[in-house]
Amino acid sequence: METKNDAHVVINNKEFVICGYESSEYMQKVAAYLNNKIAECKEIEEFKNLERDMKNFMLEINIVDDYFKAQDKAVELESENSKKDDELYQLKHEFVALKEKLNKTQQELERIGSAYESAKRQLKHLEEQKESQTRK
């Protein structure tokens, strides 16, 4: 069974102790993300004039927006990964087929080379026979 971890974090200049099954480093990363989101919102002039509830709401909306964008990106990357897997499978299949074709071509080349050498020897033998007959 996993044990809960405690992490002391600072979010928006306030100290918190958060607990979870994730590592302390992960919880620090979450706190850093929240601090960055808060800083982004504070840069917006209109945000500064909002009531606290509206500020929290805007922050929540921005976080959810990031979540959905990340989710969409994950789906897109999964799709790309799947396409690349399919392409890799096709390329491997083509590679095997080309390798087999290369082996057959090499065997055919060796066969033709042997036939050529045999024909050369036979031609030389016939030329030698002809030459010996013309000497007689």
Whether residue 19 lies inside any domain: the answer is: no
Whether residue 11 lies inside any domain: the answer is: no
Whether residue 49 lies inside any domain: the answer is: yes
Cα Rg of the chain (Å, integer): 38
Cα separations in angstroms, 47 against 52, 76, 97: 10, 32, 63
Give the C-alpha separation, 113 to 119, whole Å.
Answer: 10
What range defines the domain where residue 115 resides? 44-135
Q: Is the pLDDT of residue 89 over 70?
A: yes
Which pLDDT does position 2 carry in this prediction? 83
Give the count of domains, the chain. 1
Which pLDDT does position 119 carry in this prediction? 96
Whether residue 27 lies inside any domain: the answer is: no
Digit-coded pLDDT (tens) for 19-67: 999 999 999 999 999 999 999 999 999 998 999 999 999 999 999 999 9
Whether residue 12 lies inside any domain: the answer is: no
Residue with structure tokens 């790309």?
A: 80
Whether residue 20 lies inside any domain: the answer is: no
Whether residue 80 lies inside any domain: the answer is: yes
Whether residue 104 lies inside any domain: the answer is: yes
Question: What burial letters (b/e) apply to 60-96, b meaning 16+ CB within 10 Å?
Answer: eebeeeeeeeeeeeeeeeeeeeeeeeeeeeeeeeeee
- What string of H, E and C letters represents the secondary structure of 68-83? HHHHHHHHHHHHHHHH
